Structure formats: structure tokens, C-alpha cells
Amino acid sequence: MQAGASSALLGACSPEVPKLAPGAAPQLTLPGGWVGASVARGHRLREGAPEGPALQGGPIRRCRVLIIGGGVAGLACARGLMQAGIDDFALLELEDQAGGNSRGHQMGGMACPLGAHYLPLPGPHAQAVSQLLEELGLSRQVMGRTVYEERHLCHSPQERLLYQGQWLEGLLPPAESAQAQAQYLKFAQAVAHAQQHLGFAIPSRSLPWRAEHAALDGQTFAHWLNRQGLQDPGLRWYLDYCCRDDFGADASTVSAWAGLHYFASRHGFHPPGWQDSAEREAVLTWPEGNAWLTRRMAQALGEHVHCGRTVLKVSPQRHEFHAQVWHESSQSPEQWRASALVMATPLFIAQRLLGEAAPPALHDATTQMAYAPWLVANLQVKGPLLQRQGARPAWDNVMYGAQSLGYVDAMHQSLVPQAGPTVLTAYWALPQARRAALYQQPWTFWLQQLLQQWGDAHPDLLQQLQRADLMRWGHAMSIPVPGLRGSPALAHLAESPNGIHFAHSDLAAYSVFEEAYNAGHRVATRLRSQLQGPARR
Ligand SMILES: Cc1cc2nc3c(=O)[nH]c(=O)nc-3n(C[C@H](O)[C@H](O)[C@H](O)COP(=O)(O)OP(=O)(O)OC[C@H]3O[C@@H](n4cnc5c(N)ncnc54)[C@H](O)[C@@H]3O)c2cc1C
């Protein structure tokens, strides 16, 4: 969907030496705009269901299980039901495409992500995800070992960092002194200790929650790092970067549990000079990002998926659930009735849809939560950009000290030997205070902001740029703020209070594919055992 695509005049600089500093000379016409989310549907949702006949009419549709929300969690739940032979279900999705935060886009015939762009190889606790990957042909068992399809593993070089004017391999800034090296080592030891003695896993609720976890959850990561004496600027920049990249906020906002979980639940922390465990750090990625996965999940569900359906209100009745739905293409209401309800939307939306019928735990959890706004900019370029010296272009390219998170190259996985036209996808987790500006400022404002940050790395970017499609995620992901992961209210929502099944990555306090998939899969497993008896209709 191309919402608000238009042409714009951007302030640029001389065509021969195009600098990206603000306010410089000639004007350049550049096509582009906001894409990916319908502002009108968001409005409808925010304003709530108008009372009265306008919304209460329309056809009445019935199914046994109604799933609201077609992100990874909703799709995983539907997939689980189908695999269990339960096919009397419907999934309603507000957008015209399922996938939620893991949707894709196209520019100049090239696929690119709108949100999530990679999946780390699942660890031993993410069994449902491992099974999905096998079913999709991404992995197979060879003599008791999981072997992944080379084509979909991120090719080398994976990451590089622009540091003091040159590109370095990897994202960790070099330890400039013996003192810095000692700090890197100390943090690595703390992570190894956490892995061995506390237990961290993805999905995070697959291991017991202990008092030590709660103590970490009760403070910010920055506070914990300060108390450990870990203040080296390079290390702290890197840790901030990792938190912004995975959780949408820096170390002063996320909990120490989250900061350690990032490393301890996956590959650990490898300071310069330590031996890397290459296989654990490998990631699966595709030009369109994780939309490669969600498209296949949605396709397998066929007509069970109903896109362009904005659910405006959900009311539990004595023996069933009623949902008031707005059918976007016909601009008319529909009434859905089901004996089981799965809320696979973000929790703040579930709260809005259920209103007074929401279980108290939902209210308690949402008052503790904070959501990060994100900007994703897909930049279609004519050809390879000028490169500073050092490491060659990688899949993930990050600039030390920049506000945004860097960019991935959609053609990185292509087997074409010569670099040519591509789409560079820039990611930026914004502070919550900038959410309003994300909606108020025009797309050209945000593009300018990005171009300024990239000026040093790629002074010819503006010259190569053909089109820019920007996506704004107002409430992109739950930030694991102190106290959230250990919140009893959040844990209670996973127990299906008031007979309502909640399935969303929000239940984990932070957002990654494995947590979302697991949330949906868990609900499908529960429904399977509940629905063994005759359906309540
Ligand atoms: C910019 C960005 C980059 C990311 N990168 C990665 C990454 O690389 N790897 C990774 O693992 N994770 C990444 N994530 C995290 C990502 O959120 C999860 O991987 C996953 O996609 C979350 O799925 P979900 O089902 O929990 O939620 P959502 O994606 O939020 O799905 C909820 C769905 O409900 C729908 N909905 C909402 N309200 C209604 C309504 N009223 N009626 C009908 N439908 C409704 C929404 O449209 C949406 O489709 C990223 C997230 C963002 C925003």
C-alpha cells in the first residue's frame, strides 16, 4: 500500500559534490512518501467504536475461534489450530496484508522489509520456531544435527561499523586501551556468569524466574552497569546500540534483566580477541526480511485470513464473544460471533477493544508498559555508494555515534556478482517523546534527518537516491522497562483470564519473532485441548 506517496523538494547541495548538510544549495525532486499503514484505520481505532446503528448492522458471521490480529502471534495461533485439525476459525487483520511488524515492501522490483528483517538461529528452547523452520524448508536434520539452508543464512560480511572515518568489521568498537579491554572482559564474564548460574532463554518464560532475575528486573541496565564500574565509552555505546536495536530504547530505559538477556539468551558477549561461536551468531535473513516467513504462514491459512477488517469492539457475552468489525473495502460493518476469542493485537489495543470487559490484569499490565516509536526508511539507490576505506559493504552497516541504527542492504543475499541498484533499509528507534513529531512532521523532514546522519559515511547518497518510502510505527514494540518482565499482571495474561486468550509478543515484555510465535503457538495448544469436546455455539 502506498499511502501519501508524492514528490518532494529536498534541500540538497551541489550536484558534483553532494554534501548532505542541512540548508545547502540546489533543490532536488525526489519521489517518495509514507507507506505501510493506513492512517484512517488507525484513527478509527483510536476514536473507538461509535455507538448506534451504523456499527451494529451488517452480516453476522460465525466461527468457533476468532483470532484478532494477523501478526506473527496471530498467524502462529492459526497455524497451530489448522495443524490440530481445527478449521472452524477466522483471523481478522486490520491491514491489507497479514504479518504485522514483520511485513514487506517492494521498490523498483526489489523486495525490502517494512519492519523485522532477521531471525537468529533458534536456541534449544525455541522448539516451535525450529519446527516451523523445518516445515518451511529452511532447515533439516542431518545425523542428529540441524543444518540450515545456506541460501537463507546471512552471507558474509555480516556487519560493519563506521568508526573514526573508516569501516571496521563487526559492530564492537575497538578497545582503545588496556583499561577498556579489561572492561570488555569484565562484561563478558558477567554475561557468562548469568548464562551459567541464572539461566536466560528465548522464549524467556521457558526457564524459572528467580529472585536474582527479579533484582535485575528492578533496575535499569545503565544503573547496573554503573554499579559494576563498566563505563568505557566504546562499550557503553555498543550496549546502548544493542538495547536500542532489540528493545527500542537505550540502557538508561530498559531493565538490567533485558540488557543481560540480550546477550545471555543467545550468543553471549565476545570481546575483541575472544573466540567467536560462529554458528550461534548466524542469522536467517531475506530481502523482504521476516515477511518471507509471515507470507508463507499466511498463504497456508488461505481463506481463514480476512485482511482489511478493523475490529472496533469486542464484548464477551454469556456463551460467546461478539466483535464489531469494520470491513474496509466495502466501508460497512460486520458482526462476528465465536465461542473462543484470541486477542493477538498489542495489549494496549486489546485493552481498548475490550473496554470495561477487560480483565483487571490487562489494565494493570498496560499501565506499566511503554512502547517505542520506530521509523523505517527504504531508500532505493541507482548503484553502489562511494565507500570510505576499511571493511567492504556488509548486510548491516552501522555508524558509531549516530542517532539512527544504520541500514541493511536488501540485495545482500543476491548472488549477482556486481553491486548494482539496491534498496537500503534504515532503522531508527526514536525516543517516546518524538512519537508526536513522527506523525506531525512530513516524511521529507525525517528523510533529511537520516541523510544528515549518513553524510559522513556516504556523501553521494543523495545523488544515487531514486525514491524513499518511509514507514512510521507509532507503537512498534514493548520496551522492557524495569519491573515489566517480572510483572504478575503480564504473567497472568498468559493464563487466559476471563476465558480470553492473549497471544502477542507483548506478553514477553519485549518483541522478537520467537516470543511472538511462541505466544500464538501456546494458545493454539491450549485451545486444542479445550476444544476436544463439542463446540459451544
Ligand atoms: C521496525 C521493527 C524492526 C523489527 N526487527 C525485528 C527483527 O529483525 N527480528 C525480530 O525477531 N523481531 C523484530 N521486530 C519485532 C517484531 O515486532 C516481532 O518479530 C513480531 O513481528 C511481533 O509480532 P506480534 O504478532 O507479536 O505483533 P504485531 O506485529 O504487533 O501484530 C499485531 C497485529 O494485530 C493487528 N491489529 C491491531 N489492531 C487490530 C484491530 N483492531 N483489528 C484487527 N487487527 C488489528 C496489527 O495490524 C498487526 O498485524 C521488529 C519490530 C519493528 C517494529
Atom of ligand 1 nearest to the CA of 312: 41
pLDDT score, position 208: 96
pLDDT tens-digit series, residues 390-418: 999 999 999 999 999 999 999 998 877 77
Q: Which of 233, 232, 236, 208 lies closest to 220 in space, CA to CA?
A: 236
Q: CB count, 10 Å around CB of 150?
A: 7
Q: Lowest-confidence range among 20-29, 91-100, 430-439, 464-473?
A: 20-29
Q: What does each C-alpha distance from 367 to 47, 256, 351 come to in angstroms?
A: 19, 20, 10
User: In testing the pocket of ligand 1, which one of 66, 133, 328, 345 has its CB within 8 Å of the most ligand atoms?
Assistant: 345
431 in the Ramachandran plot: left (φ > 0), alpha (ψ -120 to 50) or beta? beta
- In CATH, what number does 173-271 get? 1.10.405
Residue 41: HSE in the Cβ half-sphere, 13 Å Cα cutoff? 20
pLDDT score, position 337: 98
> DSSP assignment, residue 126?
-
Atom of ligand 1 nearest to the CA of 73: 25
Say how far apart CA 71 and CA 476 lie, in whole Å.
Answer: 12
pLDDT at 176 over 60: yes
pLDDT score, position 44: 81
C-alpha cell at 516: 511472538
pTM for the model stands at: 0.94
pLDDT score, position 3: 39
The band of 267, judged by pLDDT with boundaries at 50, 70 and 90, is confident
Q: Are 394 and 154 in contact (CB under 8 A)?
A: no
pLDDT at 22 over 60: no
pLDDT tens-digit series, residues 49-61: 565 556 788 999 9
The band of 1, judged by pLDDT with boundaries at 50, 70 and 90, is very low
CA of 198 to the centre of ligand 1 (A): 29
pLDDT score, position 245: 97
Say how far apart CA 132 and CA 138 lie, in whole Å.
Answer: 9
User: In testing the pocket of ligand 1, which one of 511, 513, 522 has its CB within 8 Å of the most ligand atoms?
Assistant: 511
pLDDT at 18 over 50: no
User: In testing the pocket of ligand 1, which one of 66, 95, 102, 425 has its CB within 8 Å of the most ligand atoms?
Assistant: 102
Q: Are 269 and 276 in contact (CB under 8 A)?
A: no
Q: What single-letter amino acid sits at 354? A: L
pLDDT at 291 over 90: yes
CA of 446 to the centre of ligand 1 (A): 22
Say how far apart CA 130 and CA 139 lie, in whole Å.
Answer: 8
Say how far apart CA 198 and CA 190 lie, in whole Å.
Answer: 11
CATH 3.50.50.60 is held by the domain 41-103+290-370+485-530: yes
pLDDT at 278 over 60: no
pLDDT score, position 28: 53
Which residue has the least CA distance to atom 4 on ligand 1? Answer: 116
CA of 102 to the centre of ligand 1 (A): 6
CA of 390 to the centre of ligand 1 (A): 36
pLDDT score, position 49: 57
Atom of ligand 1 nearest to the CA of 103: 21
DSSP string, 200-258: --SSGGGS---HHHHHHHTSBHHHHHHHTT---HHHHHHHHHHHHHHHSS-TTTSBHHH
CA of 293 to the centre of ligand 1 (A): 13
pLDDT at 277 over 80: no
Pocket of ligand 1 (CB under 6 A): 45, 68-74, 92-95, 100-102, 115-119, 290, 310-311, 344-346, 349, 374, 376, 427, 473, 476-477, 504-505, 511-513, 516
**pLDDT, mean of residues 53-78:** 93
pLDDT score, position 11: 37
Q: Lowest-confidence range among 16-30, 204-218, 219-233, 410-424?
A: 16-30
Atom of ligand 1 nearest to the CA of 471: 1
pLDDT score, position 326: 95
C-alpha cell at 235: 562499550
CA of 459 to the centre of ligand 1 (A): 34
The band of 2, judged by pLDDT with boundaries at 50, 70 and 90, is very low
pLDDT tens-digit series, residues 323-373: 999 999 999 999 999 999 999 999 999 999 999 999 999 999 999 999 999
Which residue has the least CA distance to atom 5 on ligand 1? Answer: 116
Which residue has the least CA distance to atom 23 on ligand 1? Answer: 72
CA of 399 to the centre of ligand 1 (A): 26
Q: Which of 474, 473, 475, 467 lies closest to 33 in space, CA to CA?
A: 467
Would you list the domain boundaries of the chain?
A: 6-34+372-478, 41-103+290-370+485-530, 173-271
The β-bridge partners of 380 are 423, 467
**Segments in 57-193 forming alpha helices (H):** 72-83, 127-135, 178-193
pLDDT score, position 419: 82
pLDDT tens-digit series, residues 111-164: 999 999 999 999 999 999 999 999 999 999 999 999 999 999 999 889 999 999
CA of 36 to the centre of ligand 1 (A): 13
Beta-sheet pairing, 60-68 with 166-169 = unpaired
pLDDT score, position 39: 79
CA of 118 to the centre of ligand 1 (A): 13
Which residue has the least CA distance to atom 14 on ligand 1? Answer: 116
**pLDDT, mean of residues 374-384:** 97
CA of 63 to the centre of ligand 1 (A): 25
Percentages (nearest 5) of helix, strand, coil residues in the chain: 35, 25, 40
pLDDT score, position 415: 76
Q: Lowest-confidence range among 5-14, 390-399, 428-437?
A: 5-14
Q: What does each C-alpha distance from 40 to 45, 308, 345, 470 come to in angstroms?
A: 9, 12, 18, 17
CA of 345 to the centre of ligand 1 (A): 8
Residue by residue, what is the 3-state secondary structure of 316-331?
ECCCCEEEEEEECCCC
Which residue has the least CA distance to atom 34 on ligand 1? Answer: 69
Q: What single-letter amino acid sits at 12? A: A
Q: Which residues does 330 contact at the CB level (< 8 Å), separation at least 6?
A: none
**pLDDT, mean of residues 433-460:** 94
Atom of ligand 1 nearest to the CA of 98: 49
CA of 318 to the centre of ligand 1 (A): 31
Say how far apart CA 268 and CA 349 lie, in whole Å.
Answer: 35
Atom of ligand 1 nearest to the CA of 519: 26
Which residue has the least CA distance to atom 31 on ligand 1? Answer: 71
pLDDT score, position 38: 80
CA of 377 to the centre of ligand 1 (A): 17
**pLDDT, mean of residues 468-482:** 97
Q: Are 286 and 152 in contact (CB under 8 A)?
A: yes
